[in-house]
Amino acid sequence: MSGTRSPSPLVQATSDLALVLAAHGDLGGKGADNTPGHVRLKNALVPLLPELDVVSGVMKGTPPLREVVESLPHDRVVVLPLLLSNGYFCKTVLPRKLGLDPDLKQQKEGEWQNLNRDGQYIKLFPPLGVLPFLPDLVSESIQIAITPAKTGDRPAKPELERQVLLVAHGSTNNSESRLCTLQLKRKLEQRFGYTQLSCAFLSEAPYFERVAPTLGENAIVVPLFASNGLHGYDDIASVMQSAPKHCKLSSVIGCEHKVAMHLRQYLSSLSLTSVF
């Protein structure tokens, strides 16, 4: 294999393929100084995907994504962005952090390319926020927030008329966060029949901090973030102080315990050996 690959790989190859969870990386948030969300997800996936060597890295912070990928002895690497939209970080920052061609054409949903770098074949997958199971995961999270599951309980009928607010990051420079959130809203309405869904954002209108005080007493707030970090936990928790006291906050979507199971089913359905 050519290039400047690390002579001392951090992961010894036990399979033909490596799966890299590519997180944004940030500071703050519940448990951020203990076990970051991408590490918890990696640990949950390892026993579920014995045919893959699963590792994780971040675009901002430690461990640096590029170093993680370059240390892998595998010729074939699948990179799964733990991002909730196909925006600037997914289209521009991620390829750059992977050391790929800076002139790479921006990827669009459904056009996820195979990329070569120093003899290593990299398959860049769609981000978490556009994967087909996300509406199911969000609906499950909403229902758990309404009625926490108990051992032996029969599944309750979904409360489709409950007021639900989807909260995403948003951006004044890039429309992808908004578009992905609105697309998710439409899918939830069409697939499950929710009737009182709305969206708010941290960094663009309608701003979550302005919407929160206007919510109904029994509203559910769903944080569309990949981890309990600065935005997913700190910012959301701060704004929730202005919401009616009986509003419920669902788990951060990327931290849902079921995300690993959904990812296993999704990856298993793809026949990864055929995607390269």
pLDDT for 93-147, tens place per residue? 888 888 776 555 545 544 566 677 767 888 888 899 889 999 999 999 998 888 7
pLDDT(69) > 60: yes
Cβ-contact 86, 174 below 8 angstroms: no
The whole-number pLDDT of residue 240 equals: 92
Q: What is the pLDDT of residue 156?
A: 54
pLDDT tens digits along 144-182:
888 765 545 554 556 898 999 999 988 888 788 899 999
Identity at 264, one-letter amino acid code? R
Say how many C-beta atoms besides its own lie within 10 A of residue 84's C-beta: 27
Q: Which is higher by pLDDT, 9 or 269?
A: 269
Residue whose C-alpha is closest to residue 90's, from 190, 158, 178, 176: 176
Nearest-angstrom CA–CA distance, 267 and 207: 35
- Is the pLDDT reported for residue 49 higher than 70? yes
Q: Is the pLDDT of residue 5 over 90?
A: no
pLDDT score at 99? 78
**pLDDT for position 230:** 65
Measured distance CA(232)–CA(240) in Å, rounded: 12
pLDDT band at residue 256 using 50, 70 and 90 as cut-offs: low
Mean pLDDT rounded to a whole number for the chain: 82
Q: What does the pLDDT look like over 181-200, one tens digit per residue?
A: 999 999 999 999 999 999 99
DSSP class of residue 47 equals T
Sequence-distant (≥ 6) Cβ neighbours of residue 20 within 8 angstroms = 55, 56, 57, 65, 68, 69, 72, 77, 78, 79, 80
Give the CA-trace dihedral at 234, 236, 238, 244, to 10 degrees. -150
The whole-angstrom separation of Cα 199 and Cα 74 is 41
Digit-coded pLDDT (tens) for 20-32: 999 887 655 554 4
**Interacting residues of 26 by C-beta distance below 8 A, sequence separation 6+:** 32, 60, 61, 227, 229, 230, 231
Say what the pLDDT of residue 7 is.
47
